[in-house]
Chain A
Amino acid sequence: MILTTPFHERTSALNETGLWNHWAGHLSANRFQISDKFEYFAVRNAAGIFDTSPLFKYRISGADAERFLSGILARDVRACPPNAAQYTTWLDERGFVLEDGVIQRRGPDEYLLTSAEPNYSYLADRVGRLGVAIEDVSLGIGALAIQGPRSRDLLSRLVPSVEQLPFFGITTGSIGSRPVTVSRTGYTGDLGYEIWVDTPDAIAVWDALWDSVDGYGVLPYGLAALRMLRIEAGLLLLPVDFGNSRFAFNDAHRSTPIELGWSWMFKGLADDDGRPFIGRSALLKEMATKSSRWRMAGLVVDWEDYDRVYQEAGLIPPKEHTPIHEDWMVYDDDRQRVGYATSFMYSPILQRHVALARVRPELAKPGTRVFLEFTVDHRYQQVAAHVARLPLYNPERKMA
């Protein structure tokens, strides 16, 4: 049966649409009121609150927790001190991505890993003789993201240590007299935080948070706004922009972390202490031989060319902010197929059509001209675009 989140009693009262999405087995609001774009702007201009409780969450603890995770996760978790978090990924032995997620180091020997899909057996089956306990705490912890330029000021009134919390830092405090953990993380590419709370305390925390932001232009936002925000932020979505290698039927549906643009996670890997982790040798080989098939990049559509193809057809050029999660073909100057986009939208803040796309590595340099294929008047039309660095929208406040 479909589950509801620990905040459902409150979010359902706010959801005026009567509609719910299913996300990770939970009811999750697509939007709370008629306009997802209005919710999107609340996040970019004030702050929004998103119920991110449906994520899978695993508590990994014990004397060998760091050793265990440093062998499972491809990014070096040893570089993550207590009270910090890392965006990370885990691979198969061929160097293909299984999943991505955020690992919080809540103490020297205690971690919380979040992921989009279930991973319990994958983790538990690889413990061996190490002193590690793995617990699925998915339903025991509720999570709220508060994101946007006002988030720091608003949240630090409740949890003062938030004021100085660095990007990907973790702190604790209390909201509504209930203990919470706050991480400076999110899925919007903006200044923002996530609040982690034990399920029994969820409603009390919601009420205290909601009351405290009254009058500050804060809106709850749903999945529709989230999908817009994350494309601008260049944050990938499973299974839209990549698939889990474990369940892929062929390599066309697999990606390496280098192909997904995560090479920054592995700077210095070739010269490290030889930390063993799943996928290491394949990853090193890919980096040494430059055998990556793709590189994830942003695409920004040329506005003049876009307007031209529609105007020539007698149409008003559509500027639809709702993301489309489909394959869009990418061509080079010689009109050879050189990649594909997986997420496409009109970005209200960039005032351009943008996409997340894979292109051949040699075309990944920002500014490279490519062509994106549209259907106009039921015919394929190729429209000029240029490759852009991710994130496409990256306000200073995000990390300041």
Chain B
Amino acid sequence: MDRYDAIVIGGGHNGLVNGAYLAKGGLKTLILERRHLVGGAAITEELQPGFWFTTFSYALSLLRPQIIHELELPKHGFMPLLMSSKFAPTPGGEYLWFTQDHDENLREIARISPHDADAYEQYGHDMDRVCQALKPLLDMVPPDPFSDDPEELLALAGIGSRFRKLDKRTFHNAIRLLTGSTADFLDDYFESDLLKGWIASSGIIGSKVGPRSAGSGLVLLFHSLGEHDGSFGTWAFHKGGNGGFTQVLARAAEAFGAEIRLDAPVARVLTRDGQATGVALEDGTEIAADVVVSALDPRRTFLELVEPRELPDDLVTDIGRLKFQGTSSKVNFALSGLPVYPPLADRNGEMFRGFLNIGPSMDYLERAFDDAKYGWYSQEPYIDAAIQSTIDPDMAPPGKHVMSCFIQYTPYRLRESDWDAERERLGDTVQATLERYFPGFGDLVLHREVVTPLDIERTIGLSEGNIFAGELAAPQMFFLRPAPGWSQYRTPIAGYYQCGSGTHPGGCVMGAPGRNAAGQILRDRSR
């Protein structure tokens, strides 16, 4: 039987990060990926000759900068390309177009609301301060509030004292974001509905909340915790998409000595006397290891890879209660040319060199959510689009383009229908929505790929298609993620660990779960 020090189940970005750190830490490490390519939800596929689609995940921001340095990613081709524009059009011809010139952006805001220009400065500064205060939490193993261990108590006190050092405003803003709604928070700064709708979109991404729901503030804050080249809350597009990024991670992991095996689905984790001893593949092969790490979501980690009877009852109950309820889809297009936005028809498409936000008002977003509340998909969905070939021309043939559209809301469970029946109708709905902004859009479409929550679950195994491997909701964050008492990457089975986005701090292509878990594993082994 093959024998390794550590086996990582799942070659998504967290599995790769985890495996790379374990290998760097001296462990003979094997990463097992069920599919024919690594990356999990962060993959890029050539679905049409010359057109490269970011099937699922499509941009980078939350990635912890330490990982870039510690895993020496630039050596392996790490290349976060600048998205130089942001564009939020309305069907009526009004729009906001941000460039890399901050002052120009303030003028752009002033054009639609003189009040909101310096309010935007204030908002940005206030968010930076909250993010500055909270970012260190991303890189720590959450302390266990249920433990009497002095080390844990000390760590808890450390967090308390960090908050005590904050000024009142930052402290209050943090609490308002962690507990409240995006709408309430933004109403305190802005009057422009277009601007509010634009910012509020970051408060709904991937989550079954509307901008007026409590809990959307947390999602907004979470998405603001990213950074790109030192600028908080900004995003980059990796060369070759997020699949290009996970290929870089794979090369780095291999350079540190990790072995990656593709087409190697794991059936179960082998245990003896409460101790993990290895894994069994679906083809029956058994591979031994002292450490087994699951990069899959908590449902699979606890209820499928091991048998519930091996676990404490309250953990099984808590994992059963964990909310997934994916509400996001992707519709990806191959286009014969750039869409035309009539008021800017004379421009050369520069406004498409970054995110394109279809969510022109708070009401629009809230109405889109209304459909989901009652079990249907948005008839006018929120769309976070990016024509990535304007940033990386290698994504499409010359003069042609790929367009990634993140769609919300599309609840995993539909009332009186299912996604196999609704898939193409969702594609039509999205296309019809884009047609209202870009007349003639449909004529540009060479190919369309619709990826529903069901497809996400089927293809890459994320339960209920939740892109964060468990919702980003306060009851399942920090020392409660994925379950009370089990937030420190360990499991009740000795030698069996978890490192996926279902652990602290959560989803997005952040890598923090993989890195934090590796730190915990290496510390445990040196004890």
Interface residue stretch chosen among B78-86, B325-333, B473-481: B78-86
Judged by a CB distance under 8 angstroms, whether B353 is at the interface is yes
Q: In the complex, which residues of chain A have a beta carbon less than 8 angstroms from the beta carbon of B82? A: 35, 37-38, 41, 348
B230 touches A37 (CB 8 A): no
Judged by a CB distance under 8 angstroms, whether B392 is at the interface is yes
Q: In the complex, which residues of chain B have a beta carbon less than 8 angstroms from the beta carbon of A316? A: 128, 132, 230, 232
CA distance A34 to B108 in the complex (A): 14
Q: In the complex, which residues of chain A have a beta carbon less than 8 angstroms from the beta carbon of B68? A: 351
B393 touches A46 (CB 8 A): yes
Judged by a CB distance under 8 angstroms, whether A346 is at the interface is yes
Judged by a CB distance under 8 angstroms, whether A264 is at the interface is no
CA distance A44 to B392 in the complex (A): 11
CA distance A52 to B229 in the complex (A): 29
Q: Which B residues from 51 to 95 make CB contacts under 8 A with A? A: 65, 68-69, 73-74, 78-82, 84
Interface string of B388-407 (1 = CB under 8 A from A): 01011110001110000000
Judged by a CB distance under 8 angstroms, whether B101 is at the interface is yes
A34 touches B399 (CB 8 A): no
Q: In the complex, which residues of chain B have a beta carbon less than 8 angstroms from the beta carbon of A349? A: 74, 79
Q: In the complex, which residues of chain B have a beta carbon less than 8 angstroms from the beta carbon of A303? A: 65, 69
Closest residue on chain A to residue B229 by CB atoms: A319
B398 touches A37 (CB 8 A): no
Judged by a CB distance under 8 angstroms, whether A214 is at the interface is yes
Judged by a CB distance under 8 angstroms, whether A239 is at the interface is no
Q: In the complex, which residues of chain B have a beta carbon less than 8 angstroms from the beta carbon of A389? A: none
Judged by a CB distance under 8 angstroms, whether A317 is at the interface is yes
| Best-buried of A34, A44, A352 by chain B (most CB within 10 Å) | A34
A351 touches B69 (CB 8 A): yes
A216 touches B99 (CB 8 A): no
Judged by a CB distance under 8 angstroms, whether B121 is at the interface is no
B81 touches A317 (CB 8 A): no
Judged by a CB distance under 8 angstroms, whether B100 is at the interface is yes
CA distance A216 to B68 in the complex (A): 29
Interface string of A30-41 (1 = CB under 8 A from B): 000111011001
A37 touches B100 (CB 8 A): yes
B398 touches A45 (CB 8 A): no
How far in angstroms is the closest Cβ of chain B from A306? 10
Q: In the complex, which residues of chain B have a beta carbon less than 8 angstroms from the beta carbon of A351? A: 65, 68-69, 73-74, 78, 229
A216 touches B398 (CB 8 A): yes
Q: In the complex, which residues of chain B have a beta carbon less than 8 angstroms from the beta carbon of A35? A: 82, 84, 99-100
Q: Which B residues from 100 to 157 make CB contacts under 8 A with A? A: 100-101, 104, 128, 132
Q: Which A residues from 155 to 194 make CB contacts under 8 A with B? A: none
Judged by a CB distance under 8 angstroms, whether B34 is at the interface is no
A38 touches B398 (CB 8 A): no
Q: In the complex, which residues of chain A have a beta carbon less than 8 angstroms from the beta carbon of B389? A: 217
Interface size on A, residues (CB 8 A): 29
Judged by a CB distance under 8 angstroms, whether B268 is at the interface is no
Interface string of B171-210 (1 = CB under 8 A from A): 0000000000000000000000000000000000000000
Q: Which B residues from 294 to 350 make CB contacts under 8 A with A? A: 350
CA distance A348 to B99 in the complex (A): 18
B69 touches A34 (CB 8 A): no
Q: In the complex, which residues of chain B have a beta carbon less than 8 angstroms from the beta carbon of A352? A: 69, 74
Judged by a CB distance under 8 angstroms, whether A350 is at the interface is yes
Judged by a CB distance under 8 angstroms, whether A128 is at the interface is no
Interface size on B, residues (CB 8 A): 32
Q: Which A residues from 314 to 339 make CB contacts under 8 A with B? A: 314, 316-321
A45 touches B132 (CB 8 A): no
A34 touches B99 (CB 8 A): yes
How far in angstroms is the closest Cβ of chain B from A299? 16
How far in angstroms is the closest Cβ of chain B from A309? 14
How far in angstroms is the closest Cβ of chain A from B396? 10
CA distance A256 to B65 in the complex (A): 39
Judged by a CB distance under 8 angstroms, whether A274 is at the interface is no
CA distance A328 to B119 in the complex (A): 37
Judged by a CB distance under 8 angstroms, whether B504 is at the interface is no
Q: In the complex, which residues of chain A have a beta carbon less than 8 angstroms from the beta carbon of B515? A: none
Q: In the complex, which residues of chain B have a beta carbon less than 8 angstroms from the beta carbon of A38? A: 82, 84, 100, 353
Q: In the complex, which residues of chain B have a beta carbon less than 8 angstroms from the beta carbon of A319? A: 229-231
How far in angstroms is the closest Cβ of chain B from A18? 12
Q: A41-B81, A217-B393, A303-B65 are in contact. Are A348 and B398 (CB under 8 A)?
A: no
Q: In the complex, which residues of chain B have a beta carbon less than 8 angstroms from the beta carbon of A46? A: 393-394
Closest residue on chain A to residue B136 by CB atoms: A311
Judged by a CB distance under 8 angstroms, whether B223 is at the interface is no
A45 touches B230 (CB 8 A): no
Judged by a CB distance under 8 angstroms, whether A215 is at the interface is yes
Q: In the complex, which residues of chain A have a beta carbon less than 8 angstroms from the beta carbon of B393? A: 45-46, 150, 216-217
Q: Which B residues from 231 to 246 make CB contacts under 8 A with A? A: 231-232, 239
How far in angstroms is the closest Cβ of chain A from B239? 6
Q: In the complex, which residues of chain B have a beta carbon less than 8 angstroms from the beta carbon of A350? A: 74
B79 touches A45 (CB 8 A): yes
Q: Which A residues from 336 to 360 make CB contacts under 8 A with B? A: 346, 348-352
CA distance A309 to B327 in the complex (A): 42
CA distance A352 to B229 in the complex (A): 9
| Best-buried of B82, B353, B399 by chain A (most CB within 10 Å) | B82
Q: In the complex, which residues of chain B have a beta carbon less than 8 angstroms from the beta carbon of A321? A: 229
Q: In the complex, which residues of chain B have a beta carbon less than 8 angstroms from the beta carbon of A150? A: 393
B398 touches A34 (CB 8 A): no
B230 touches A346 (CB 8 A): yes
Partner of B101, one of A34, A41, A44, A320: A34
CA distance A217 to B81 in the complex (A): 13
A33 touches B229 (CB 8 A): no
Q: In the complex, which residues of chain B have a beta carbon less than 8 angstroms from the beta carbon of A214? A: 398-399
Interface string of A129-169 (1 = CB under 8 A from B): 00000000000000000000010000000000000000000
CA distance A215 to B393 in the complex (A): 8
Q: In the complex, which residues of chain A have a beta carbon less than 8 angstroms from the beta carbon of B79? A: 44-45, 349
How far in angstroms is the closest Cβ of chain B from A170? 28
Q: In the complex, which residues of chain A have a beta carbon less than 8 angstroms from the beta carbon of B69? A: 303-304, 351-352
Closest residue on chain A to residue B401 by CB atoms: A215
Partner of A37, one of B74, B84, B104, B394: B84
Q: Which A residues from 193 to 227 make CB contacts under 8 A with B? A: 214-217
CA distance A340 to B149 in the complex (A): 51
| Best-buried of A38, A216, A320 by chain B (most CB within 10 Å) | A38
CA distance A346 to B73 in the complex (A): 16
Closest residue on chain B to residue A40 by CB atoms: B82
How far in angstroms is the closest Cβ of chain A from B152? 25
CA distance A24 to B353 in the complex (A): 33
Interface string of B455-499 (1 = CB under 8 A from A): 000000000000000000000000000000000000000000000
CA distance A45 to B239 in the complex (A): 8
| Best-buried of B74, B132, B353 by chain A (most CB within 10 Å) | B74
How far in angstroms is the closest Cβ of chain A from B64? 12
CA distance A163 to B157 in the complex (A): 65
CA distance A321 to B231 in the complex (A): 12
Interface string of B422-438 (1 = CB under 8 A from A): 00000000000000000
| Shortest Cβ-Cβ A-B pairs, 7 listed | A217-B393, A319-B230, A215-B399, A35-B100, A215-B398, A38-B84, A35-B84
Q: What are 28 A-B pairs with beta-carbon distances under 8 A?
A: A33-B350, A34-B100, A34-B101, A35-B82, A35-B99, A38-B353, A41-B81, A41-B391, A45-B81, A45-B393, A45-B394, A214-B399, A215-B399, A217-B394, A303-B65, A314-B132, A317-B230, A318-B230, A319-B229, A319-B230, A319-B231, A320-B230, A348-B82, A348-B229, A349-B79, A351-B73, A351-B74, A351-B229
Q: 18 new A-B pairs (CB below 8 Å) besides A34-B101, A351-B229?
A: A37-B82, A37-B100, A41-B82, A45-B79, A45-B239, A46-B393, A214-B398, A215-B398, A215-B399, A215-B400, A217-B389, A217-B393, A314-B132, A316-B132, A319-B229, A320-B230, A349-B79, A351-B78
Chain A residues with CB under 8 Å of chain B are 33-35, 37-38, 41, 44-46, 150, 214-217, 303-304, 314, 316-321, 346, 348-352
